Amino acid sequence: MPSNQNIGFFVTGTDTEVGKTIVSGALLLLLQKKYSQVIGYKPVVAGVTIIDGQLQNEDLVTLTRASNHPAAKDITNICPYVLEVPSAPHLVADKNQIELDYTKMLNGFRNLEKQTDAIIVEGVGGFRVPFHQNKDSADFAKDIGLPVILVVGMRLGCINHALLTIESVLNRGLILAGWVANTIGPMNLIDENIQSLRQLIKAPLLGTIPHLNPELASTPYTLKALETVANYIHLPE
């Protein structure tokens, strides 16, 4: 891949809490090996905790750590809406009388896309999470048009969730660039499940992430954790 060409991926998941952030961070590190201006973006986050003495969102701290473009140091550049309560973003925004301005979310992405040569956009929750203005996160994926990477959280039910998500991605004319199997917990017949998914998904498996020890799995993710995960996955060809 030539380094003067823009590249980017939209990372979605079979559900919330399946490993989109850890995969996004690892992909950013892999991109840093080829590109000098790499950044993460997320259109909205919900939930803050005290990190390094400040109220921050864990996903954004991870995305900042894994980015090498200076714009990532200012959180407002990598996410226009940081909501405090961890719940469905449109509902938290309603409670706080905040309007999630869809154009602002798109413009935040476009600004970064112009300044950088590689971008990873982490989706919100699963593929279709409501925003305001009759938009949802799938509209956002479609409007930015990046190839999609699906993180499958390996647990009972994930085949159904993966297939429904992929149907929804493809129905919007988006490209599925690949998928990642993330071992979020113990699962019966996990190898067979991954094998079935390989047969059913017409996009490459980019890697299988093992269950991580609590130190590596703790959030916000350290660079060491993201480097570990980067060893298990690869960028789409």
Ligand X SMILES: Nc1ncnc2c1ncn2[C@@H]1O[C@H](COP(=O)(O)OP(=O)(O)OP(=O)(O)O)[C@@H](O)[C@H]1O
Task: Determine if 129 is a binding residue for ligand X (CB under 6 A).
Answer: no
Residue ranges in 33-128 assigned as alpha helix (H): 58-66, 75-78, 89-95, 102-115
> Interface residues for ligand X in 177-196 (CB under 6 A)?
182-184
Among 7, 18, 112, 203, binds ligand X (CB under 6 A): 18
Distance CA 171, CA 174 (A): 7
Among 21, 56, 116, 228, binds Mg ion (CB under 5 A): 21
Task: Determine if 22 is a binding residue for ligand X (CB under 6 A).
Answer: yes
**What's the Cα-to-Cα distance from 198 to each of 20, 230, 237, rounded to whole Å?**
19, 20, 17
Among 15, 59, 117, 136, binds Mg ion (CB under 5 A): 59
**Closer of 176 and 225 to ligand X (Cβ):** 225
Q: Which of 94, 124, 130 is nearest to 109 (CA)?
A: 124
DSSP, res 73: G
List 34, 42, 114, 202, catalytic entry: 42
Among 20, 69, 90, 155, binds Mg ion (CB under 5 A): 20
Contact indicator for 150, 12 with CB cutoff of 8 Å: yes
Instruction: Name the amino acid, one letter, at 210.
Output: P
**Closer of 42 and 117 to Mg ion (Cβ):** 42
Catalytic-residue membership of 42: yes
Task: Determine if 16 is a binding residue for ligand X (CB under 6 A).
Answer: yes
Count CA atoms within 13 Å of residue 44 on its CB side: 32
Closest contact distance (angstroms) between CB of 221 and Mg ion is: 10
Closest contact distance (angstroms) between CB of 123 and ligand X is: 8
Task: Determine if 117 is a binding residue for Mg ion (CB under 5 A).
Answer: no
Q: State how far Cα 171 lies from the chain centre.
A: 20
Rule CB under 6 A: which residues touch ligand X? 13, 16-22, 59, 125, 182-184, 209, 211-212, 217, 219
